[in-house]
A and B are shown apart, each in its own frame.
Chain A
Amino acid sequence: MILSGHGLAIGYKDHVVGRDLDIALATGEVLALLGPNGGGKTTLLKTLLGLLAPKAGEVRLGDRALSSYASRERARLIAYVPQSHAATFAFTVETVVLMGRTAHGGLFSRPSAADHAVAGRMLERFGIAHLCERPYTEISGGERQLALLARALAQEPQFVVLDEPTASLDFGNQGRVLHEIRALAASGHGVLFTTHDPNHAMRAADRAYLLRAGALVGQGAVHAVLQREQLEALYDAAVQRIADRDGGQSAFLPG
């Protein structure tokens, strides 16, 4: 299955943030969205999620326009992991994960025993089953990100879209989340995530999509696209590349 945007103009109300964007994501691959602040990453993300209508062009999911899907139908195919999850009420972690099952039940239904089983599996998968009784507001930022990943997978989607999944996490948790992103692609999901760190894209993504001031400035396999000159142009700042002589891995340092 493919989630794609064709000739998209994106934005809010009368304010157009980006134009002429073509983007495609297939199941089983990871696409990283990079670019400076205000460049339209989140807007593009929300347009592909169907939360914002495109100003022009069309988002397609499979062989249909995304706008032709009912909200429940769409939620069974695309899951969203929001950036900073501000919870107002102290739901238990299990309840938060169960919310991922909403689109699988009727309007007046509550989660069934089968839904509890799915949520339980997802809690196990991300190693947070021991937290299931804890209030979501009282667990750490890393645990919260894992709970939101578990909720997204509880939707049993084809695609998972994450908005800056590594932001505000400590170094160890960043690594865990990147590892989970790879694991999602390995289990057949198409993954799209935004990040401020090109190294995270190198670590977890197959392809990168570079967005600057609402325009596409480069896309392709991460190692081909994420080059020093490209990144310096993208961020309008100096970048240094560091290579590991033995493993052939490389990383970028800002400044």
Chain B
Amino acid sequence: MVRSRSAAPGLLVAFAVLVAGLLLSFAVGRYPVSLGDLIHVIVAKLGGGAAGVPPAVEDVIWQVRGPRVLAAALVGAALAIAGTAFQGLFRNPLVSPDILGASSGAALGAVLGIYFSLDVFAIEGLAFAGGLGAVAAVYLIGAAVRARDPVLVLVLTGVVIGALLGAGVGLIKYLADPYNQLPAMTFWLLGSLAAVSALDLVRLLVPIALGTLVLVALRWRMNVMSLSEEEARALGVPTAALRIAIVAAATLVTSASVASAGIIGWVGLVVPHIARTLVGPDFARLIPAAALLGAGFLLAIDTLARTAAPVEIPLGILTAFVGTPFFIWLLTSVAKTWSVS
């Protein structure tokens, strides 16, 4: 029996993108580290022994850049995985993690936290609760509308709820103190990894790992669920229960990244496409490929964000600048990876 087309080259490319992103973001910055020094330090850390470089170089790599690099990789991977799951579940390659209101719900939670001058933990907690709450609301409303195409109803409800939450964010920003609160809100809403600490990494890692585990475990069922609802059911898949599990897992992953890094659009929309052209639509390979590419992509973007200008450029702005033209090119050139004849 011939096995399916090998995914190894595609996964290798994705892995190479991650490695390139890691090297780039460790090496480039206000204090440049040469590639040779970087490799020495990493080898020394992995194998033990002295790196033979000035201590300042090691500090820059592990203390200054370390947490931020890891956070960028985690958030990039998380957004790409969530986007992959949503696109498969909604059988629509134009869907992204924001579609069910996860991002806008998290945004409203965060600006409320800033408005009431809560501490950082409470702000992130509110963002998290806002994301999950928005998706739950979308889901309950969608389930109450008994239509023949539950997926379309969900997507439309997500758009409507997202608009309402956006209006809520606008209202809070309008009411906010323009000197203290508004800049913080704006900065957070545009996305940044500047203030990431080692503790943030743990708070990122746990929910992301949990959600990803669920999605990886369900990878074959997700293939089947990307067929029509009736086909999936006829093939023996309990679609209603699994849809809730997949939406919850992908929302958890999205909310965790939004809570720590703010709103970073486009990654969850564009990266799954590239991953699909590299390894095909089978989720068993698509999820790892998207995770590797998303991590590498956001590492490159974050490096750009902290080095391209004297002040930090918000990530959401950069991903939009890179993502929009890329997406338009994608639509016009490689549409065949998902289109129907």
**A residues at B contact (CB < 8 Å):** 12-13, 46, 49, 51, 71-76, 78-80, 82, 85-92, 94-95, 99-100, 102-103, 105, 107-111, 116-117, 120, 132-133, 137-138, 155
Give Cα A109 to B282, complex, Å: 14
Please, which residues of chain A bring their CB within 8 A of the CB of B5? 92, 133
Least CB distance from A133 to B in Å reads: 5
Interface string of B128-161 (1 = CB under 8 A from A): 0000000000000000001010000000000000
> Which of B2, B91, B236 is close to A72, meaning CB atoms less than 8 Å apart?
B236
Given known pairs A71-B237, A80-B230, A105-B220, the reply for A89 and B4 (CB within 8 Å) is no
B235 touches A100 (CB 8 A): yes
Given known pairs A89-B281, A108-B218, A116-B1, the reply for A75 and B235 (CB within 8 Å) is yes
Give Cα A245 to B284, complex, Å: 59
Give Cα A87 to B238, complex, Å: 20
Specify the chain B residue showing the minimal Cβ separation from A116.
Answer: B1
Given known pairs A71-B233, A88-B93, A91-B282, the reply for A99 and B4 (CB within 8 Å) is no
A102 touches B236 (CB 8 A): yes
A102 touches B276 (CB 8 A): no
Given known pairs A75-B235, A82-B230, the reply for A91 and B217 (CB within 8 Å) is no
Give Cα A71 to B233, complex, Å: 7
Q: Which interface residue of A49, A71, A109, A110 has the most chain B CB atoms within 10 A?
A: A71
B284 touches A110 (CB 8 A): yes
Least CB distance from A249 to B in Å reads: 35
Please, which residues of chain A bring their CB within 8 A of the CB of B1? 116-117, 120
A102 touches B341 (CB 8 A): no
B220 touches A110 (CB 8 A): yes
> Which of A72, A82, A88 is close to B226, meaning CB atoms less than 8 Å apart?
A88
B226 touches A95 (CB 8 A): no
Least CB distance from B210 to A in Å reads: 15
Please, which residues of chain B bring their CB within 8 A of the CB of A90? 280-281, 336-338
Interface string of B317-341 (1 = CB under 8 A from A): 0000000000000000000111111
Least CB distance from A158 to B in Å reads: 14
Interface string of B270-283 (1 = CB under 8 A from A): 00000010001110
Q: Which interface residue of B93, B146, B224, B341 has the most chain A CB atoms within 10 A?
A: B341
Give Cα A99 to B228, complex, Å: 13
Please, which residues of chain B bring their CB within 8 A of the CB of A91? 223, 280-282
Give Cα A1 to B338, complex, Å: 40
Show 16 A/B contacts (Cβ-Cβ < 8 Å), sorted by A.
A51-B230, A71-B238, A72-B236, A75-B235, A75-B236, A82-B228, A87-B227, A89-B91, A89-B281, A89-B337, A90-B336, A92-B4, A92-B280, A94-B2, A109-B220, A138-B341
B224 touches A102 (CB 8 A): yes
Please, which residues of chain B bring their CB within 8 A of the CB of A92? 4-5, 280
Specify the chain B residue showing the minimal Cβ separation from A72.
Answer: B236
Given known pairs A107-B221, A110-B219, A110-B220, the reply for A88 and B340 (CB within 8 Å) is yes
Give Cα A117 to B3, complex, Å: 11
Q: Which interface residue of B228, B280, B281, B336 has the most chain A CB atoms within 10 A?
A: B281
A88 touches B92 (CB 8 A): yes
Any A CB within 8 A of the CB of B234: yes
B234 touches A80 (CB 8 A): yes
Please, which residues of chain A bring their CB within 8 A of the CB of B265? none
Give Cα A201 to B103, complex, Å: 54
Given known pairs A89-B88, A99-B224, the reply for A133 and B236 (CB within 8 Å) is no
Any A CB within 8 A of the CB of B177: no
> Which of A71, A82, A89, A99 is close to B338, meaning CB atoms less than 8 Å apart?
A89
Any A CB within 8 A of the CB of B231: yes
A94 touches B281 (CB 8 A): no
> Which of A73, A75, A95 is close to B234, meaning CB atoms less than 8 Å apart?
A75
The 5 A-B residue pairs with the shortest CB-CB distance, nearest first, are A75-B236, A103-B236, A89-B281, A80-B234, A72-B236
Least CB distance from B125 to A in Å reads: 31
> Which of A46, A75, A86, A132 is close to B2, meaning CB atoms less than 8 Å apart?
A132
Please, which residues of chain A bring their CB within 8 A of the CB of B228? 82, 86
Least CB distance from B253 to A in Å reads: 18
Give Cα A91 to B227, complex, Å: 10
Least CB distance from A150 to B in Å reads: 13
Give Cα A46 to B231, complex, Å: 11
> Which of B235, B238, B339 is close to A99, meaning CB atoms less than 8 Å apart?
B235
Please, which residues of chain A bring their CB within 8 A of the CB of B2? 94, 132-133
Least CB distance from B312 to A in Å reads: 38
Given known pairs A89-B226, A116-B1, the reply for A51 and B234 (CB within 8 Å) is yes
B148 touches A12 (CB 8 A): yes
Name 5 extra pairs, CB < 8 A, besides A88-B340, A137-B338. A74-B236, A76-B236, A90-B280, A91-B223, A111-B220
Please, which residues of chain B bring their CB within 8 A of the CB of A76? 236
B4 touches A82 (CB 8 A): no
Which residues 287-341 of B have a CB within 8 angstroms of A?
336-341
Specify the chain A residue showing the minimal Cβ separation from B148.
Answer: A12
Q: Which interface residue of B217, B227, B230, B284 has the most chain A CB atoms within 10 A?
A: B227
Give Cα A78 to B235, complex, Å: 9
Give Cα A103 to B238, complex, Å: 10
Please, which residues of chain A bring their CB within 8 A of the CB of B336? 90, 137-138
Give Cα A111 to B219, complex, Å: 11
Q: Which interface residue of B146, B224, B231, B235 has the most chain A CB atoms within 10 A?
A: B235
